[in-house]
């Protein structure tokens, strides 16, 4: 290094050191919003349990963690097979994993570019013609064109004096966190969708079986009415009424069959298969057990358990860090640079003769005429933070409302099932009494069949109420966050071909 270079480095180094020593991080430091202060989800006393319906009361257990595999609380091996197949093969989760991987690699790439110096090597050749007069030597003889061979290395580093790069990395970390929670939310949603679709398909199978049994009974009643009409015992109006009932019941079956097929198609898609080649287990309501102990936390804890709320909080963090980035862009930027190279007219001298060109520099760049633009960008970042804060608050309110809806639904489901069960028991008793009277000759076969029709209809309505209770329990589990914290998902390589 020449004496001039040494003097320049000696003077520039203290300036750069002083600049670095006074470095700060502009912009707000993120603080998560305060959680809800309410201790209950619904108006009135906090329920400890539902009423007993079908002999089962659901108990709400405070401060108990929901297991990650909460669907196993239904004690159904068939349901477990469906959910695990969906978690293994659904295309939804690989999408979320790929988005997480993109965010992580974006952060990794940017981390390297802002925390490490940029070091680049160069290798080149050029054909040159120099006019000595242009260099201040008009009397020097002109030389012919020559080839210049060059090998060198350059280094540059931008000092993060105001923390803009640190805020940028903070923002990228928040995006990674948001994508991670979005992956958890996708897993919770997929699981809940599979459970809900399985319960719906089970309810539809029971409804179809009940509708066919009712149709068979009504068909027998119609046949008896037609026989009695032939004997003059009943009018044509009574027979027509029976035909209407038969037609009405028959008309209910095709929509149920359609809904069952669509539910099974949805399950096939959830498990990563086409409807035509998916071999799915046929679940009935008898295969499902109602979970009796239901975990319940206060709203303040709910915001830490819902992955969608945590993702919204992470995006709020990202918006907060972006304010610091926008503010730092308004201030001076200090860049240190240097380079060494060997520039020779003969290629064999490039490496053999050593370095003959060097440079070292320090640059301070301050935006001047762009200040109004950069201030507007900072105000834009503040407005984006306000938008993210409103979105976070909306996600919290929605999450609390989801739990409140599910809790109230379970309370009312228990009342509805209790009433339908009582109705079914009374219809069963009426049918039994009618059969006993038939044996004694006190009633006709027509009355027995009519009582049987009432019993089947009451049982159909009871099974519908039981299915609603099962489905709303799954809705509560999803609203409580789905237990993702019990089994944290990690990034795994995405299956499939790579570009």
Q: Is residue 261 part of a domain?
A: yes
Q: Is residue 457 part of a domain?
A: yes
pLDDT tens, residue order, the chain (499 aa)? 555 445 544 554 555 454 444 558 899 999 999 999 888 888 776 668 888 888 888 999 987 888 999 999 999 999 999 999 999 999 999 999 999 999 999 999 999 888 889 999 999 999 888 888 887 788 888 777 889 999 999 999 999 999 999 999 999 999 999 999 999 999 999 999 999 999 999 999 999 999 999 899 889 888 988 888 888 887 899 889 889 989 999 999 999 999 999 999 999 999 999 998 888 999 999 999 999 999 988 899 999 999 999 999 999 999 999 999 999 999 999 999 999 999 998 888 888 888 889 999 999 999 988 899 999 999 999 999 999 999 999 999 999 999 999 999 999 999 999 999 999 999 989 989 988 887 777 777 778 888 888 989 999 999 999 999 999 999 999 999 988 776 543 433 333 333 3
Q: CA dihedral in degrees (58, 455, 468, 42; nearest 10)?
A: -60
CB atoms within 10 A of CB 14: 9
- Decide: 188 and 484 in contact? Cβ < 8 Å: yes
CB atoms within 10 A of CB 226: 13
Q: Is residue 491 part of a domain?
A: no
Number of domains in the chain: 1
Q: Is residue 492 part of a domain?
A: no
Q: Is residue 498 part of a domain?
A: no
Domain with 161, as residue range(s), is 3-486
3-state secondary structure of 418: helix
- Distance, in Å, from the CA atom of 8 to the CA atom of 6, rounded to the nearest integer, reads 5
Task: Report in angstroms the alpha-carbon separations of 453 from 216, 420, 426, 430.
Answer: 9, 16, 13, 11
- Distance, in Å, from the CA atom of 399 to the CA atom of 298, rounded to the nearest integer, reads 12
- Decide: 94 and 498 in contact? Cβ < 8 Å: no
Q: What is the DSSP letter of 347?
A: T
C-alpha angle 175/35/480, rounded to 5°?
80
- Distance, in Å, from the CA atom of 457 to the CA atom of 200, rounded to the nearest integer, reads 19
Which stretch of DSSP H or E encloses residue 158? strand 146-159
* Cross-strand bridge partners of residue 128: 146
Q: Is residue 499 part of a domain?
A: no
CA 168 from chain centre, in angstroms, equals: 24
3-state secondary structure of 149: strand
CB atoms within 10 A of CB 34: 8
Q: At what angle do helices 371-439 and 307-328 cross, to 10 degrees?
A: 170
| CATH number, domain with residue 72 | 1.20.1600.10
Closest-CA residue to 267 (of 467, 82, 92, 93): 82
Phi, psi of 62 (to 5 degrees): -70, 145
């Amino acid at each position: 290094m020449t004496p001039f270079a040494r003097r320049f480095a000696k003077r520039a180094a203290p300036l750069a050191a002083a600049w670095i020593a006074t470095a700060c991080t502009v912009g707000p430091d993120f603080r998560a919003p305060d959680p809800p202060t309410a201790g209950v989800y619904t108006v009135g006393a906090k329920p400890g349990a539902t009423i007993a319906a079908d002999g089962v009361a659901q108990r709400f257990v405070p401060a108990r963690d929901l297991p990650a595999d909460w669907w196993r609380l239904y004690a159904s091996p068939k349901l477990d097979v469906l959910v695990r197949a969906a978690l293994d093969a659904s295309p939804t989760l690989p999408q979320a994993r790929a988005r997480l991987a993109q965010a992580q690699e974006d952060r990794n790439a940017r981390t390297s570019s802002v925390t490490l110096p940029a070091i680049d090597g160069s290798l080149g050749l050029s054909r040159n013609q120099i006019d000595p007069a242009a260099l201040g030597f008009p009397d020097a003889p002109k030389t012919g064109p020559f080839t210049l061979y060059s090998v060198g290395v350059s280094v540059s580093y931008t000092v993060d004096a105001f923390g803009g790069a640190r805020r940028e990395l903070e923002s990228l970390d928040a995006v990674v966190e948001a994508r991670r929670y979005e992956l958890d939310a996708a897993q919770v949603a997929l699981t809940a969708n599979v459970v809900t679709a399985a319960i719906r398909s089970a309810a539809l199978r029971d409804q179809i079986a009940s509708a066919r049994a009712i149709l068979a009974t009504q068909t027998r009643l119609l046949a008896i009415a037609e026989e009695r009409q032939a004997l003059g015992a009943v009018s044509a109006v009574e027979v027509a009424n029976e035909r209407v009932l038969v037609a009405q019941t028959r008309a209910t079956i095709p929509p149920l069959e359609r809904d069952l097929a669509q539910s099974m198609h949805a399950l096939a898609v959830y498990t990563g298969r086409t409807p035509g080649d998916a071999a799915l287990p046929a679940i009935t309501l008898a295969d499902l057990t109602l979970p009796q102990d239901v975990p319940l936390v206060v709203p303040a804890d709910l915001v830490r358990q819902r992955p969608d709320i945590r993702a919204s909080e992470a995006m709020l963090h990202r918006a907060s860090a972006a304010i610091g980035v926008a503010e730092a862009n308004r201030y001076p930027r200090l860049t240190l640079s240097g380079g060494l190279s060997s520039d020779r007219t003969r290629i064999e001298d490039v490496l053999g003769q050593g370095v003959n060109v060097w440079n070292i520099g320090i640059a301070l760049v301050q935006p001047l005429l762009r200040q109004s633009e950069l201030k507007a960008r900072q105000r834009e970042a503040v407005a984006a933070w306000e938008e993210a804060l409103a979105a976070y608050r909306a996600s919290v309110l929605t999450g609390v409302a989801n739990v409140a809806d599910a809790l109230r639904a379970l309370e009312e489901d228990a009342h509805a099932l209790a009433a339908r069960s009582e109705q079914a028991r009374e219809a069963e008793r009426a049918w039994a009494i009618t059969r006993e009277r038939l044996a004694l000759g006190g009633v006709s076969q027509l009355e027995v069949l009519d009582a049987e029709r009432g019993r089947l209809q009451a049982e159909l309505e009871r099974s519908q109420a039981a299915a609603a209770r099962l489905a709303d329990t799954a809705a509560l589990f999803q609203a409580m966050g789905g237990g993702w914290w019990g089994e944290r998902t990690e990034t795994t390589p995405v299956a499939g071909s790579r570009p």
